[in-house]
Structure 1
Amino acid sequence: MKIAIGNDHAGTAYKFAIVEMLKTMGIEVINCGTDVSDSVDYPDFVHPVASAVEEGKVDYGILICGSGNGVAMTANKHANVRAGLCWTKELVELTRSHNNANVLCLPARFTAKEQALEMVKTFLETEFEGGRHQRRVDKIPLGC
């Protein structure tokens, strides 16, 4: 499995923890985020992750910013990207099982680091249910 991860300055510490966990799970990680805490513009780090998902270069994407909103809005402009903003494990389960999300967006300022790690694990372990949910996902436009 291959995952692209991106973050702005608010998500740097979380990104490092997530990357470390993913590598211990044997997952290849492409780091598209900033490695510093100096203020940066999140779209600069979202577009490479969303493009990698859109083009099938990675299986999934993970994006982290302060609220999670900016990265989710930006990622969802890409065709075939279904980015879900989650702040609980239960939301992660639903965004994967019902919406077939392929990008997980995390709000670093509103979740604990341990919670974010658990959400990433849940994202990777949860399967899309298909069925009636597939019909709904099929009605989502392919992007701008």
Structure 2
Amino acid sequence: MRIAIAADHAGFALKEQVRGLVAGLGHDVRDLGAHDEKPSDYPDFAELVGAQLMRGAVDRGILICGSGIGVCIAANKMPGIRAGICHDTYSAHQGVEHDDMNVLVMGSRIIGSALASDIVRAYLAASFDASQERFARRLNKVKAIEQTYMSVALK
């Protein structure tokens, strides 16, 4: 898979570790920054990952900031982005399997590197279960909500 990964300064160290893990698992990693621990703004990185997904340049994304909350909020403002904060492996795979989550979000000040690695593995190994009618129905409802309010926002 093609994976876009980004983090602000607070998530930089964990992003570096995760980037190596994802590449080591055989995925094509697109590192969109930050490239150091100088203060930076999480919305910039959320937008970079979201834009790559919207263009179809990547299959999934991973975002990291201090708590995970900031990048999650910012990413979910973009059409077609389904970002979820996961600080456990169950949420990481269930979010993909049931909800077609396409951006994994983690908080570097919340979880350690070993757990982050397990979460990333669970996320990347999962796939949306479109054979379950209820999952497809619910995802279509989420997409319909997005379409309704996007058209309102554009007026």
**Shorter-chain TM-score: which interval?**
over 0.9
1:38-77 pair list within 5 angstroms? 38-77=38-77
Residue 137 of structure 1: aligned partner: 139
Greater RCO (CA < 8 Å, at least 6 residues apart): 1
Residues paired across the two proteins, number: 144
Residue 29 of structure 1: aligned partner: 29
* Cα distance, 1:88 vs structure 2: 0.6
Q: Which has the greater radius of gyration?
A: 2
- The one-letter amino acid paired with 2:107 is P
53-62 or 17-26: bigger deviation: 17-26
Structure-1 separation of matches of 2:36 and 2:49: 18
* Cα distance, 1:3 vs structure 2: 0.6
127-136 or 69-78: bigger deviation: 127-136
Structure-2 separation of matches of 1:19 and 1:27: 10
| 1:72-101 alpha-carbon deviations (Å, 9 max, x no partner) | 111111111110111111111221111110
* Structure 1 unmatched ranges of 5 or more: none
- Which one has a larger percent helix, Structure 1 or Structure 2? 2
| 1:82-127 alpha-carbon deviations (Å, 9 max, x no partner) | 1011111111122111111000000111101111111111001112
Residue 17 of structure 2: aligned partner: 17
SS in structure 2 of the partner of residue 104 of structure 1: strand
* Structure 2 unmatched ranges of 5 or more: 151-155
* Cα distance, 1:42 vs structure 2: 0.6
| 1:47-70 alpha-carbon deviations (Å, 9 max, x no partner) | 110110111110100000011111
Structure-1 separation of matches of 2:95 and 2:12: 24
Structure-2 separation of matches of 1:32 and 1:6: 5
Q: Which TM-score applies when normalising by structure 2?
A: 0.88
Structure-2 separation of matches of 1:105 and 1:33: 15
Residue 114 of structure 1: aligned partner: 114
Structure-1 separation of matches of 2:10 and 2:89: 21
